[in-house]
Amino acid sequence: MVMSKPASEQELAEKRRRELKASTILTEFAKRHRRKLEGPLDTTEAVAQATGISLPNGCAISATDSSGKFCSFFEINAINKATIEAYLRAKPRPTTFVPTFIPCNPARKNLSPDSIHPTLDIESTLPHCRLEHLSDVPRPAQNEYPVWYFSYGILAEGDVFTSSGKQS
């Protein structure tokens, strides 16, 4: 049986849509949020029940706000965030409670296993000492010494300073 060209184009378009949807779901699943434990979902068990997860996969994170008041947060993924929002919309409540979600965007870590300073990656030179271009000459050179520390003590006296440079 020979497939017609429009049918195969439709199938390719449908396949692309499914792949895009799957990658979007994976991307959303990877996004993390911290949900403040307050209102109707004030415990990790209540959050687990609202999202449909069997057991909370992490502990509550303790914190204090700017006024010194104790509060707790629970880390969830973006899919669970959407589930909590839908749960709160569907649940009738007398007040206009708005949950607090804080996006967790930790810095990407690419530590070097081969460096003596893994946080600096392979290049172990401190960032402020690195050359900007390959043609730059490192300063101070081996025969150049910074002399700022000679400006105090007995070396600040001219006679001592000039006599220390003379050879006997």
Write out pLDDT tens, residues 21-36. 777 777 766 788 888 8
pLDDT at 146: 61
Question: What mean pLDDT is predicted for residues 5-22?
Answer: 77
Reported confidence tier of residue 7, pLDDT bands at 50, 70, 90: low
Reported confidence tier of residue 53, pLDDT bands at 50, 70, 90: confident
81 and 101 Cβ atoms separated by less than 8 Å: yes
Mean pLDDT for all residues in the chain:
75
Q: Which amino acid, residue 82?
A: A
pLDDT at 60: 81
pTM value is: 0.47
Phi/psi-derived region of residue 152, left when phi > 0, alpha when psi is between -120 and 50, beta in every other case: beta
Angle at 94 between CA 56 and CA 38, to 5 degrees: 30
